[in-house]
Chains A and B, each alone.
Chain A
Amino acid sequence: MKIGYTLSLFREYLANYIKTKMTYRADFWVEVVSDLMFSAMNLVFIFVVFQHTPSLGDWSQAEVVFVYGYFMIPYGIFGAFVNLWNFSERYIVKGEMDRVLTRPAGSLSQVLLENVDPPSLIGSLVGLGIMGAAWARLGLPLDWYDPLVLIVMVAGSVLIYMGIYIALAAISFYSDAPTGIVPLMFNIQNYGRYPIQIYNKGIRFLLTWVLPFAFVGVYPAAFFLERHHHLLMAWLTPVMGAIFAAIGLAVWNHGVKRYRGAGS
């Protein structure tokens, strides 16, 4: 009943979103183009690096590009539904959280819905394309279950991202200072896209268990790459997704209860 209610809200918010976007049509394209540029930049890094080396920890260029293509799919979905980059300034410092809390719907779903960003999904489609191209390049077989596994893996990866960033946004409930931690995190998410064995134990541990960005890249993608098949780590993706989403929700709910307003 609660979920049905939230879904009906989602439809309303989306309709509103489309109406506002129609007024600012140029913006829509600026956003799409800049999203794609963002990915292009990361791909440039891969291409530049492979000009100087044939392999990165025995992974070929096509394999690393494959992982990047995979990464873009969950990242695009995450970006469309969890757009909390401005959360601390907009909701805590400027006090919009108080408005959200006076309404009957769940606070997290309201905040997420107010910030939906569907253009981000185009990135997912491009990622799917890149992955497909790398798939063909590598001559990988396509089994009947591969699309199903991909859906499960992507869902797991999205949940990990959501969990981490919701928890980070919720930190603002505990300290009303602009923490500046989110921009600091921004780079760490990149490292999960490269072959994990090139790192030392410490960083590997961090990317696997603490900030599990390796599950939004190299582990689930390796499921499809025969040479780097590691079933256990790949199937941990949905498990880690469930765990981190639960942590994110718990941190948020606990934070909302503690929240007293910034007094502005």
Chain B
Amino acid sequence: MISAYVDFIRIRFLTMLAYRVNYYSGIVIYAINIGAYYFMWKAIYGDAEQLGGFTAGQMTTYVAVSWMARAFYFNNLDREISNDIRDGSVAVQMTRPYSYIMVKMMQGFGEGLFRLLLFMAPGMVVVTLIFPIELPTDPVLWMIFLVMIWFSFLINSQINVMTGLFAFFVENNEGLMRMKRVTVDLLSGVVVPIAFFPGWASEVLKWLPFQAITYLPGSVFTGRIAGSAVWEALLVQAAWFVALIAPIALMWRAARKRLFVQGG
């Protein structure tokens, strides 16, 4: 059984590998994203030394590392699942002797592995050469960061699975998927670190799963969160991962009861 799941990882990894050329353009596009935000933050900082607890230097590193983490954890599981549901192939997959959700997670992981090795890692090198980025020197911090972006991947994929499963309940979840994408980018801290939000908003955001995707690993990597707070951040991520299993299971149970295929 496990080996079947491992095969799903392998197959997706190899499929992605076949299209690797696309991801070279991806590195260029991510470098542009980082560049645009780098200059935007430079304009925002102006002469200020420190904003929202980030120095200008930390901010540059934060922008770069959070985009690169996004290069790794990003996937289109929401779209894949909603396509499966809308064209009815989910019905066939349900009859197979493995869990549909697990298969999707494994495929997402295969894609993530590809993105980590061929997108994030070379992208990080390129970006470090272009922008004044301060990388941490402590190897333990690097290890923790790797664990943290692993949780980023898990939580982001869980949110994607939930968004995709909404296709069972509304016939067209295109708008929902688009909304989810901007919500995750904004509230996870890719475009603005949570600390920049006004007090009440950042207080609210601390109780949402999004900050666990980008803000926490990015803050640890740049050293804005240090000491024992690092372990708390890790704990928050683990807690969200566990907490999000329940709604997915519930949605899946409800969905199986109401599946109707639209003209499949």
Chain A residues with CB below 8 A from B76, complex form: 180, 183
Q: How far does the alpha carbon of A44 sit from the alpha carbon of B171 in the complex, in Å?
A: 29
Q: How far does the alpha carbon of A49 sit from the alpha carbon of B51 in the complex, in Å?
A: 11
B223 contacts partner chain A, Cβ-Cβ < 8 Å: no
- How does the 8 Å CB contact mask read for B180-209 relative to A, with 1 for contact and 0 for none? 011101100001100011100000000000
Which applies to chain B's interface (DSSP): helix, strand, loop or mixed? helix
Partner of A194, one of B25, B40, B42, B181: B40
Partner of B52, one of A52, A94, A178, A198: A52
Q: Are A202 and B35 in contact (CB under 8 A)?
A: yes
B242 contacts partner chain A, Cβ-Cβ < 8 Å: no
CB neighbors of A among B154-196 (8 A): 170-176, 178-179, 181-183, 185-186, 191-192, 196
Q: Are B51 and A177 in contact (CB under 8 A)?
A: no
Chain A residues with CB below 8 A from B172, complex form: 24, 27, 30-31
Partner of B186, one of A33, A44, A203, A206: A44
Q: How far does the alpha carbon of A31 sit from the alpha carbon of B178 in the complex, in Å?
A: 10
* Identity of the chain A residue whose Cβ is nearest the Cβ of B202 in the assembled complex: A48
Q: How far does the alpha carbon of A122 sit from the alpha carbon of B76 in the complex, in Å?
A: 27
Q: How far does the alpha carbon of A178 sit from the alpha carbon of B42 in the complex, in Å?
A: 36
Q: Are A206 and B32 in contact (CB under 8 A)?
A: yes
Partner of B196, one of A52, A94, A184: A52
Q: How far does the alpha carbon of A185 sit from the alpha carbon of B52 in the complex, in Å?
A: 29
Given A41-B182, A53-B46, A180-B19, residue A48 in contact with residue B39 (CB < 8 A): no
Given A24-B171, A49-B44, A56-B44, residue A186 in contact with residue B36 (CB < 8 A): no
In whole Å, how far is A185's beta carbon from the nearest beta carbon of chain B? 7
Chain A residues with CB below 8 A from B175, complex form: 30-35
* Identity of the chain B residue whose Cβ is nearest the Cβ of A27 in the assembled complex: B172
Chain B residues with CB below 8 A from A209, complex form: none
B18 contacts partner chain A, Cβ-Cβ < 8 Å: yes
Question: Which residue of A31, A56, A187 has the most chain B CB atoms within 10 A of its CB atom?
Answer: A187
A38 contacts partner chain B, Cβ-Cβ < 8 Å: yes
In whole Å, how far is A119's beta carbon from the nearest beta carbon of chain B? 8
Partner of B179, one of A37, A51, A181, A206: A37
Q: How far does the alpha carbon of A200 sit from the alpha carbon of B38 in the complex, in Å?
A: 10
Question: Which residue of B52, B87, B172 has the most chain A CB atoms within 10 A of its CB atom?
Answer: B172
* Identity of the chain B residue whose Cβ is nearest the Cβ of A49 in the assembled complex: B44
* Identity of the chain A residue whose Cβ is nearest the Cβ of B46 in the assembled complex: A53
* Interface footprint category on A: 35 or more
A16 contacts partner chain B, Cβ-Cβ < 8 Å: no
In whole Å, how far is B224's beta carbon from the nearest beta carbon of chain A? 16
Q: How far does the alpha carbon of A177 sit from the alpha carbon of B32 in the complex, in Å?
A: 24
Chain B residues with CB below 8 A from A200, complex form: 35, 39
- How does the 8 Å CB contact mask read for A181-202 relative to B, with 1 for contact and 0 for none? 1011111101100110011101
* Identity of the chain B residue whose Cβ is nearest the Cβ of A52 in the assembled complex: B51
B128 contacts partner chain A, Cβ-Cβ < 8 Å: no
- How does the 8 Å CB contact mask read for B8-24 relative to A, with 1 for contact and 0 for none? 00000000001100110
Q: Are B181 and A188 in contact (CB under 8 A)?
A: no
Measured CB to CB, the residues of B under 8 A from A are: 18-19, 22-23, 25-26, 29-30, 32-33, 35-36, 39-40, 42-46, 48, 51-52, 76, 83, 87, 170-176, 178-179, 181-183, 185-186, 191-192, 196-198
Q: List 12 A-B contacts (CB under 8 A).
A: A26-B170, A30-B173, A33-B175, A41-B179, A51-B198, A52-B52, A56-B43, A56-B44, A177-B22, A180-B19, A180-B26, A187-B29
Measured CB to CB, the residues of A under 8 A from B are: 24, 26-27, 30-35, 37-38, 41-42, 44-45, 48-49, 51-53, 56-57, 85-86, 89, 94, 177-181, 183-188, 190-191, 194-195, 198-200, 202-203, 206
Closest 8 CB pairs between A and B?
A34-B175, A34-B179, A31-B175, A198-B43, A41-B182, A191-B36, A184-B29, A24-B171
